Amino acid sequence: MPKTLLIMRHAKSSWKEADLADHERPLNKRGRRDAPAMGTLLRQHGLTPDAVLSSTALRARETAAAVAEACGFGGEISFHAGLYHDAPEGYFEALARLPAGVNVALLVAHNPGVEELLAELTGEDEPFSAGAVAQVTLALSDWAQVSLATEGGLTAMWRPREV
């Protein structure tokens, strides 16, 4: 059975506190509105994930929690430091640890990494606005097989301002 990877860029973050470390920036008002809306959209498309992986950055953690709640995900969110401004190889390492029984995985991370990951898997160059989600179908039977050589197809792309 093919696997579905939902690649999401964290929702819009706040820049109000200039002295705040980048890793600790929270979502702004629009981000707090858009993240649950994207979760609702995933639920409406039958894409409630079996696993959610998130960067450790506050804005990604807040996005993952809001999306998870809105889409009906009942499990524990898995946080990975390697998803904070890492190259696609770091994303593959996190994904490869997923159990084979996970059919739909949501990965919440940052640009430019999410755009690079999408390009590596599908050959598609799609811009990821804050809160955007790409649905990628992967011809894998087990997440342990995911690598730079994995080929996938971009099934859908949703951006908050377009939904």
Look at residue 15 in the predicted model and tell me its pLDDT.
80
What global pTM score does this model have?
A: 0.96
The pLDDT of 6-21, averaged and rounded, is 88
Domains and CATH numbers, the chain: 3-162 (3.40.50.1240)
- Residue owning tokens 């739909």: 104
With beta carbons less than 8 A apart as the criterion, state whether 59 and 26 touch: yes
**Residue 99: which residues within 8 A CB-CB, separation 6 or more?**
51, 143
The pLDDT of 18-23, averaged and rounded, is 80
pLDDT at position 149 over 90: no
- Calculate the CA 92 to chain-centre distance: 13
Quick one: residue 123, left, alpha or beta (phi over 0 = left, psi -120 to 50 = alpha)?
A: left
Please give the mean pLDDT across all residues of the chain: 94
**Each residue of 79-96: pLDDT tens digit?**
999 899 777 788 999 999
Measured between alpha carbons, how far apart are the two ends of the chain, in Å?
29
- Residue owning tokens 């702004």: 28
**Each residue of 21-66: pLDDT tens digit?**
878 888 999 999 999 999 999 999 999 999 999 999 999 999 999 9
CB atoms within 10 A of CB 79: 18
Percentage of the chain exceeding pLDDT 70: 100
Look at residue 87 in the predicted model and tell me its pLDDT.
75
